[in-house]
């Protein structure tokens, strides 16, 4: 079974630009969660999608948005990039049958975003 | 607010035993995860504790005390490949979110 894939793996953008990151979950998984990881901060939860609906959202500004398609693939968008958005963005998939990410999550390799 | 504490870094010797602690203060608790993350790689699942007590999986064991808001990950017979960051995360059924600690970087020396 193929794992979680994320594209692109690396991205360099300038302040003010926007970016879209993509995540393809494991086949059969309906839940996709997005996280931001920075040194010393750990994983910060962005949002979770299940069956094309945002089921849960973390405490990030509205510049961070996402969506999920009927094939469970998910995209995350960050508009008006700031220097502080430089981080590793991870997505994780799970079967999602429970009410939230209580299942074991399978993480993708991440997209490393650098904002200059 | 939600708070999860782990030591930032620990050092241990190959073949030894190490215990990585995680304390949490969260509103709503359903269980606690441990993940391993090697440098430059994605986190991988190690364990999920819901009930108090010790769960053993080969060289790795995880313990939970809900009344004390405390968990630990015990690694035995340490190998060089165990050098990684270990993340604990609390699943809160109050808002269906995972709250993550900052991770403990474990360094194994020969």
The confidence score (pLDDT) of residue A115 equals 97
Buried/exposed B57-96: b ≥16 CB within 10 Å, e otherwise? eeebbbbbeeeebebbbebeebeeebbbbbbbbbbbeeeb
Neighbouring residues of B40: CB distance < 8 A, sequence distance ≥ 6: none
Length of chain B: 110
Residue A116: CA atoms inside 13 Å, Cβ hemisphere, count?
3
Contact B39, A107 (CB under 8 A): no
What integer is the mean pLDDT of B18-45? 92
Number of Cβ atoms within 10 Å of the Cβ of A94: 24
Interface contact A41, partner B, CB < 8 A: yes
User: Residue A30 corresponds to which tokens in the numbers above?
Assistant: 């309906």
The confidence score (pLDDT) of residue A100 equals 54
* DSSP symbols for A62-81: TTEEEEE-TTS-EEEEE-S-
The whole-angstrom distance between A106's CA and the closest CA on chain B is 7
Q: Do A56 and B96 touch (CB under 8 A)?
A: yes
pLDDT at B22 > cutoff 70:
yes
pLDDT, one tens digit per residue, over B33-81 is: 999 999 988 999 999 999 999 999 999 999 999 999 999 999 999 999 9
Name chain B contacts of A33, Cβ cutoff 8 Å.
Answer: 98
What integer is the mean pLDDT of B1-20? 94
Residue B97 binned pLDDT confidence (cut-offs 50, 70, 90):
confident
Instruction: Name the B residues in 34-53 with CB < 8 Å from any A CB.
Output: 41-45, 48
pLDDT, one tens digit per residue, over B77-92 is: 999 999 999 999 998 8
The confidence score (pLDDT) of residue A2 equals 78
pLDDT at B12 > cutoff 70:
yes
Closest residue in B to A98 (Cα) is B96
The confidence score (pLDDT) of residue B92 equals 81
Q: Do A45 and B97 touch (CB under 8 A)?
A: yes
CA angle B91, A81, A69 (to 5 degrees): 55
Q: Do A48 and B96 touch (CB under 8 A)?
A: yes
Most distant pair of Cα atoms in chain B: their distance: 44
Residue B2 binned pLDDT confidence (cut-offs 50, 70, 90):
confident
Closest by Cα among B91, B96, B89, B99 to B35 = B89
Contact A18, A78 (CB under 8 A): yes
Low-confidence ranges of chain A (pLDDT < 50): none
Interface contact B95, partner A, CB < 8 A: yes
Phi and psi based region of residue B36 (left: phi greater than 0; alpha: psi -120 to 50; beta: remaining) = beta
Closest residue in B to A100 (Cα) is B96
Instruction: Name the B residues in 74-93 with CB < 8 Å from any A CB.
Output: 87, 89, 91, 93
What integer is the mean pLDDT of B92-97? 75
The confidence score (pLDDT) of residue B5 equals 94
């Amino acid at each position: 079974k193929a794992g979680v894939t994320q594209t692109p793996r690396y991205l360099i953008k300038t302040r003010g630009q926007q970016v879209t990151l993509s995540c393809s979950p494991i086949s059969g998984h309906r839940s996709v969660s997005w996280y931001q990881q920075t040194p010393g901060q750990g994983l910060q939860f962005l949002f979770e999608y299940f069956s094309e609906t945002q089921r849960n959202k973390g405490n990030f500004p509205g510049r961070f948005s996402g969506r999920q398609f009927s094939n469970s693939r998910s995209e995350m968008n960050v508009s008006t990039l700031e220097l502080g958005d430089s981080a590793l963005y991870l997505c994780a998939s799970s079967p999602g049958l429970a009410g939230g990410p209580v299942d074991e999550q399978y993480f993708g390799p991440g997209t490393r975003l650098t904002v200059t | 607010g939600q708070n999860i504490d782990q030591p930032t870094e620990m050092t241990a010797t190959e073949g030894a035993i190490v215990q990585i602690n995680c304390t949490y203060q969260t509103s709503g608790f359903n269980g606690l995860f441990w993940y391993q993350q090697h440098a430059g790689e994605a986190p991988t699942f190690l364990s999920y504790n819901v009930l108090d007590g010790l769960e053993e999986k080969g060289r790795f064991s995880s313990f939970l005390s809900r009344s004390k808001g405390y968990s630990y990950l015990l690694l035995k017979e340490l190998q060089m490949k165990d050098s990684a960051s270990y993340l604990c995360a609390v699943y809160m059924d109050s808002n269906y979110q995972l709250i993550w600690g900052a991770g403990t970087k474990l360094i194994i020396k020969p």
